[in-house]
Amino acid sequence: MTSIFMFTCFVMCVVCGTVCSLPCLTVKSKQDFNKARDALKSLEDFLKNQATSINSKIEALDKDMTSMEEDFKRRQWIKYNNHCYYFGDDNVIWTDAERKCREIGGYLVKIDDSSENSWIQQQISKDISM
């Protein structure tokens, strides 16, 4: 019985010593802890919202890229005199044609000389005869 009592006292002393060596949390430190936890939660929510926003932008960009890829597969760019030309068959007004050219990374053609004009006419004639 004495050995059980001594063992119990020893365990209580070890537990008390461990507990006593821990710092006590004051009301101020608990408030600081809660503020830090709230700040982390706010940061987590903010980052989740940003990730959602970025994800939707990536999905929109992927959709645009897929559309452009399909467009590139249907039509080939032709190089002439260090310029690349894309011949489309869309029947649209000038502003829509300009917008579409910008979307695929180009500009509406501006013919600089008679040789360029002749070459373009040849390309259009090839397209019509196909």
The pLDDT tens digits for 20-59 are: 555 667 888 888 888 999 999 999 999 999 999 999 999 9
Query: Average pLDDT for residues 66-75, to the nearest whole number?
Result: 73
pLDDT band at 68 (very low <50, low <70, confident <90, very high): confident
pLDDT recorded at residue 92: 92
Residue 4 lies in a domain: no
**Residue with more model confidence, 92 or 73:** 92
CA atoms within 13 A on the CB side of 83: 14
Supply the range of the domain harboring residue 113: 76-130
104 Cβ neighbours under 8 A, 6+ residues apart: 68, 71, 72, 86
Same-domain pairing of 84 and 114? yes
Amino acid occupying residue 90: D
**Mean pLDDT for the chain overall:** 80
Query: Average pLDDT for residues 94-123, to the nearest whole number?
Result: 91
Exposed/middle/buried for residue 90 (C-beta within 10 Å: 0-12, 13-18, 19+): exposed
Whether residue 122 has pLDDT greater than 60: yes
Beta carbons of 102 and 114 less than 8 angstroms apart:
no
pTM metric for this prediction: 0.41
Same-domain pairing of 100 and 80? yes
pLDDT recorded at residue 72: 67
φ/ψ of residue 76, rounded to 5: -105, 140
**Residue with more model confidence, 107 or 7:** 107
Max CA separation in the chain (angstroms): 116
User: Could you give the number of structural domains in the chain?
Assistant: 2
Residue 126 lies in a domain: yes
Residue 13 lies in a domain: no
Residue 18 lies in a domain: no
Query: Average pLDDT for residues 4-30, to the nearest whole number?
Result: 59
Same-domain pairing of 92 and 118? yes
